Amino acid sequence: MAHPLLVRAAQCIEAARALNDEFPDKTQMPAEVAQKMDKLLGEASNCRAQVQREAKLTDLDNYLTAPDYKHDMNADGIGGSSGSGGMSVDQIGGIYTTDTQRKQAKTKAFLEFVRKGQHMSHERKADLVEDTEGQVLVPSDWVGTILRELPRDAVIRGLAAVQPTTSNKVDIGVVTVAAAGWGKLETGTTATDGLAADPADKDSIEVHDLNALVKIGVDQLEDADDDLEMIITQALTLKLAEQEDDAFANGSGTGRPRGLAQATTITQGVAAAAGETVTGDELKRTVFQVPSQFRRKANAAWLYHTSAEEKIALLKDADGRYLLQPSLSQGEPDTLLGYRAYTVDGLPAITTTVDGAGAGTDKSVIFGDLRQGYMIADRRRITVTRLTERYAEEGKIGLLFRHRVGGDVIRPKAFAWYRL
C-alpha cells in the first residue's frame, strides 16, 4: 500500500495540474489560483520531504543494528539504494513509479470505480484522479484510445482540422494570413484567406459539453478488466461519434458546435433549378464555387444526407456510367466526380421546402476542404459521473461521460452548398 503521505502528495499534484491546465495563457491566471497552486505544491513537497526523512531514519536504524559484516564499506554514505536495507523514495508508493505503472494503476483504479463507486479500496482510491469539480477523470491513455477510434465511426472528425486545447475557447485569429506578395509588402493589407470579415468575422471557437450516458448491466461489471474496458470504449465511441457528426454538420452554435449547414458565412453554392431534383450539371457547378486551392482531389470531399445520396446514386453520364462510383477497397469512401463522398445524416434531409423562385432551401449537400475550412476544438479530457441508484431497477449502473468539444467554420470560402 502506498505511503499515506505520498498518497496525499499525489492528490495535491493532480489538483495543482488541473488548475494549471485551465489557463494555457499563464498571464491570465488569477492571483488566487496561483496562490492555491503554490499551496498545493508546497504541501506535496512537504509530504515528500517527510517520507524521505522517515526513509533515512529507517535506513540508519537498519545500519546501526546490523552486524558490521553486513555494512557496505564502499558506499558514499548512509542510506539510499546502495546501503544495506536501504530504501529509495522512488521505491515507495505509486506516485514515483514508472509512467507505464502509473497509467496501469490509474486504469485499474478507474475500472474499480466503475464497479464499486466510492466503496473502492483505499489504495485504488489514491490512484483515482479527480478534477477541480470533484468529477472523476477518465485515464488519459484511455481518452486517447477513444479519440483515435472516433474518426472510424464519425466522418467529419476524420476530415477536419482538430486543435487540442486546455481552454474554453480557441483563438483562431493566429492562423490568419494577412498578406503575401512579391516586392514591397503593404502590411496594412486586409486578410484575404477567408478567415477575416470576408465574409466571416469569427476569431474564436467556443468549447461545449457533450454528455453521453452508458448503461452497463451489473453482471457485466464482473467481467475482466480488458472486457469491461472494451465494452465501455465501444459504447462511448459510438455515442460520441453520432452526436459529434450531427453537430458538426448542422449544429446551431448555441450550446453545441456550429455545423456546416448552419454557417451563414458560407454564401456560395448552387440552388437546384427544381426542388428535390439532383442533376449532374448542378453538382459539377457546385465544385467550381470554391477556389482552386480548396478543390484539390487529395483534400476536398462531398458530404450529403441519405436522401440526397439516393438521388445522386441514380445519376448517369452520357455513356450510362453512374456518377457515384462505389469504393473498390474496404474502408475507403465512394467517389463522386472524382472526389471522396461521405454520407452524413446530420445534414438536413431533402424536404419540399422551396424559396420564392421554387428552388429548394435544404443544404443537403456540402462540398469543400474540411481540413482547411473547419476546425474542431478538443479539450481531450473526459470526465465521468457514476449513477448507482437511478437504473437499479433495470439491474444496471449508469456512467455519465462529459466530453468537451467545439467546432466551427474557419474558412467559409473552402465550402459550397448544393440546396435541394
Q: Are 405 and 373 in contact (CB under 8 A)?
A: no
One domain for residues 90 and 176: no
Least confident of 157-161, 179-183, 202-206, 343-347: 179-183
- Of the three residues 64, 97, 130, the one that is the final residue of a domain is 97
Closest among 250, 364, 353 to 311, alpha carbons compared: 364
Query: Does 197 score more than 80 pLDDT?
Result: no
Query: For residue 182, what pLDDT is reported?
Result: 63
Query: Does 16 score more than 90 pLDDT?
Result: no
Query: For residue 47, what pLDDT is reported?
Result: 87
The 10 Å CB-count burial string (b at 16+, else e) for 352-374 is eebeeeeebebbbbbbbbbbbbb
Query: Does 70 score more than 50 pLDDT?
Result: no
What nine digits make up the cell of 372?
482547411
Grid cell 457546385 is found at 286
Distance between CA atoms of residues 146 and 150, nearest Å: 6
Query: Does 203 score more than 90 pLDDT?
Result: no
Least confident of 58-62, 144-148, 244-248: 58-62
pLDDT, average across residues 96-101: 60
Q: How high is the mean pLDDT of the chain?
A: 79
One domain for residues 274 and 175: yes
Query: For residue 371, what pLDDT is reported?
Result: 94
Query: For residue 71, what pLDDT is reported?
Result: 45
Tell me, yes or no, whether 129 lies in a domain. no
Least confident of 3-17, 36-50, 402-416: 3-17
pLDDT, average across residues 126-142: 72
Residue 416's CATH number: 3.90.1690
Query: Does 87 score more than 80 pLDDT?
Result: no
Distance between CA atoms of residues 259 and 369, nearest Å: 14
Query: For residue 28, what pLDDT is reported?
Result: 74
Query: Does 77 score more than 50 pLDDT?
Result: no
Least confident of 24-28, 269-273, 374-378, 391-395: 24-28
Overall domain count for the chain? 2
Tell me, yes or no, whether 153 lies in a domain. yes
pLDDT, average across residues 362-387: 91
Query: For residue 375, what pLDDT is reported?
Result: 92
One domain for residues 146 and 232: yes
Tell me, yes or no, whether 117 lies in a domain. no
Q: What are phi and psi of 382, to 5 degrees?
A: -120, 130
Q: For the whole prediction, is pTM greater than 0.75?
A: no
Least confident of 34-43, 117-126, 168-177, 224-233: 168-177
Q: pLDDT digits over 135-175, tens only? A: 787 877 778 888 888 888 889 999 999 888 877 877 775 44
One domain for residues 90 and 168: no
Query: For residue 134, what pLDDT is reported?
Result: 66
One domain for residues 210 and 90: no
Query: Does 223 score more than 80 pLDDT?
Result: no
- Of the three residues 97, 130, 165, the one that is the final residue of a domain is 97
Least confident of 212-226, 317-331, 344-358, 359-373: 344-358
Domain that holds residue 61: 4-97
One domain for residues 252 and 369: yes
Q: What percent of the chain has pLDDT over 70?
A: 78
Query: For residue 129, what pLDDT is reported?
Result: 67
DSSP 230: H
Q: What is the amino acid identity at position 394?
A: E
Tell me, yes or no, whether 176 lies in a domain. yes
Tell me, yes or no, whether 320 lies in a domain. yes
Q: What is the amino acid identity at position 323?
A: L
Query: For residue 89, what pLDDT is reported?
Result: 38
Q: pLDDT digits over 170-190, tens only? A: 777 544 445 555 665 555 555
Q: Predicted confidence band at 202 (pLDDT cuts at 50, 70, 90)?
A: low
Q: pLDDT digits over 270-322, tens only? A: 998 887 889 999 999 999 999 999 999 999 999 999 999 999 999 998 888 99
210 vs 70, more confident: 210
One domain for residues 79 and 145: no
Tell me, yes or no, whether 104 lies in a domain. no
Tell me, yes or no, whether 16 lies in a domain. yes
Q: Which residues pair with 252 in a beta bridge?
A: 258
Collapsed DSSP state (helix, strand, coil) of residue 297: coil
Closest among 345, 405, 366 to 153, alpha carbons compared: 345
Q: What percent of the chain has pLDDT over 90?
A: 30
One domain for residues 81 and 150: no
One domain for residues 205 and 279: yes
One domain for residues 172 and 285: yes
Query: For residue 188, what pLDDT is reported?
Result: 56
Query: For residue 93, what pLDDT is reported?
Result: 43
What nine digits make up the cell of 378?
478538443
Query: Does 199 score more than 70 pLDDT?
Result: no
2 vs 282, more confident: 282
- Of the three residues 76, 97, 118, the one that is the final residue of a domain is 97
Distance between CA atoms of residues 344 and 301, nearest Å: 12
Tell me, yes or no, whether 114 lies in a domain. no
Q: What residue spans of 187-316 are helical by DSSP H?
A: 225-250, 280-287, 306-312
One domain for residues 216 and 307: yes
One domain for residues 164 and 78: no
